[in-house]
Amino acid sequence: MRKLNRRQRLLLGLAFSAAFLIIVCVWGILGAEAARATDFSRKNIPPCLQYPFGTDWLGRDMLARTVKGLSMSILIGITAAAVSAVIALLLGIASATMGRAVDSVVSFVIDLIMGVPHILLLILISVALGKGLKGVIIGVAVTHWPSLARLIRAEVLQLKEMPYIKIAVKLGKSRWHIAVKHMLPHLLPQFIVGLVLLFPHAILHESSITFLGFGLSTEQPAIGIVLSEAMKYLATGKWWLALFPGLFLVITVALFYILGQSLRKLLDPGSVHQ
């Protein structure tokens, strides 16, 4: 096979990551029953051919639980990140276009949110909303938008100064026309990349807050729950309970990162030189 050039390698990585993530999600949704099925005749089996990830103290198949947990975490993470990205888009554009007052208010709010460690803020929000799924999603959505909002703000500010935009304004084009015809094509790739790069963060925070016991109940086996249960059995030597779900969580998050970074490199006009 001939050597692939950089772009082709990127595209390959992108396709692979996307495929893996989609498979995990679909499998997790379809395999909900298997993740919950208890069977005391197969308790505490270390990893073997039949149960590659082993089984737990209730005889549940850890592979099924891992996949189910991951798919839940991915879906929750994506939902929260998407909400967050919309907030970022609105506030980013608002602070770039609606004058100095709005700009300083938004930047103050950003500083405020960055001022409390994310996990602590998630705990606060979760307590305020009485724990549960809602708290997790809102918490992650509220804490993750600042970096993307800053990016969009900077981008819009830069675009506003571009000669071709200024000329369009002088030519009397409507704001709508300028926004859609001239700004959107530049903003959209940035926004999509920013959105995708929010996913891994959101998933990590979702799993962390769930791990601490603020998120979902034990009937909803998100990956954080699976791992926090595993921690209780750590001292008894059941290493597989924590190892495999965690490892797959790492892989999932890493693939999201790769997905986002490949997208960025493909969409970045400067990448023609590499």
Partner 1 sequence: MNRQRVIFFGKNIIRALLLVVCVSMITFALMKASPVDPLQANVGQAALGSMSQEQKEKLQAYWGVDTPPVEQYLSWAKDFIRGDMGVSLLYRQPVASVIAVKLANSLFLMALAWVISGILGFALGVISGMNRGKPADHVIRGYCLVISSTPVFWLALLLLMIFGVWLHIFPIGLSVPIGVEASGVTLADRLYHAFLPALTLSITGVSNIALHTREKMIDIMESDYMLFARMRGEKGWRLFRYYGFRNVLFPAVTLQFASISEIFGGSVLVEQVFSYPGLGQAAVSAGLGSDMPLLMAVTIVSALFVFGGNLTANLLYGVIDPRVRQGGKAK
Partner 2 sequence: MDEKRVKCGAGSEDRMDSPAVNKLSGEKEPVLKIEHMSISFTQYDRGMRQVSLPVIRDLDVEVHAGEMVAVVGSSGSGKSLLAHGVMGVLPYNAAMDGRITYCGEELTRERIEKLRGREIVLVPQSIAFLNPLMKIGPQICKGDKRASAREKLRSIFKRYELDERVGNLYPFELSGGMNRRVLISTALMEEPKLVIADEPTPGLDLAVAKRAMAHFRELADMGAGVLVITHDLELALEVADRIAVFYAGATVEEAPVQDFQDEDSLRHPYTKALWRAMPQHGFHYIEGAQPYVKDLPAGCSFAPRCPQCGPECAREIAYRAVRGGKVRCVRGK
Binding site for partner 1 (CB under 8 A): 108, 111-112, 114-120, 123-130, 200, 204, 207-208, 211-214, 227, 230-231, 234-235, 237, 239, 242-243, 246, 249-251, 253-254, 257-258
* 3-class state of residue 206 by DSSP: helix
Residue 257 site contact among partner 2, partner 1, none (CB < 5 to 8 Å, cut-off depends on kind): partner 1
Residue 7 site contact among partner 1, partner 2, none (CB < 5 to 8 Å, cut-off depends on kind): partner 2
Alpha helices in the chain (DSSP H): 6-30, 32-36, 62-97, 99-115, 118-128, 133-144, 146-160, 163-170, 175-177, 184-211, 223-232, 240-267
Residue with tokens 């909803």: 220
- Residue 272 within binding range of partner 2, rule CB under 8 A: yes
Q: How far is the CB of 266 from partner 2 (least distance, A)?
A: 10
How far is 146 from 89, CA to CA, in rounded Å?
10
**C-alpha 249, offset from chain centre:** 12
| DSSP secondary structure, 73-115, as one string | HHHHHHHHHHHHHHHHHHHHHHHHHSHHHHHHHHHHHHHHHHH
How far is 28 from 153, CA to CA, in rounded Å?
37
Nearer CB in complex with partner 1: 89/135? 135
Nearer CB in complex with partner 1: 208/220? 208
Residue 211 site contact among partner 1, partner 2, none (CB < 5 to 8 Å, cut-off depends on kind): partner 1
Residue 45 site contact among partner 2, partner 1, none (CB < 5 to 8 Å, cut-off depends on kind): none
**C-alpha 145, offset from chain centre:** 12
Residues in Cβ contact with 6 at an 8 Å cutoff, skipping those fewer than 6 apart: 274
- Residue 101 within binding range of partner 2, rule CB under 8 A: no
Residue 273 site contact among partner 1, partner 2, none (CB < 5 to 8 Å, cut-off depends on kind): partner 2
Q: Which residue in the set 33, 163, 176, 274 belongs to the binding site for partner 2 (CB under 8 A)?
A: 274
What residues from 3 to 22 belong to the interface with partner 2 (CB under 8 A)?
5, 7-8, 11
Residue 75 site contact among partner 2, partner 1, none (CB < 5 to 8 Å, cut-off depends on kind): none
Residues at the contact surface with partner 2, assessed by CB under 8 A? 5, 7-8, 11, 271-274
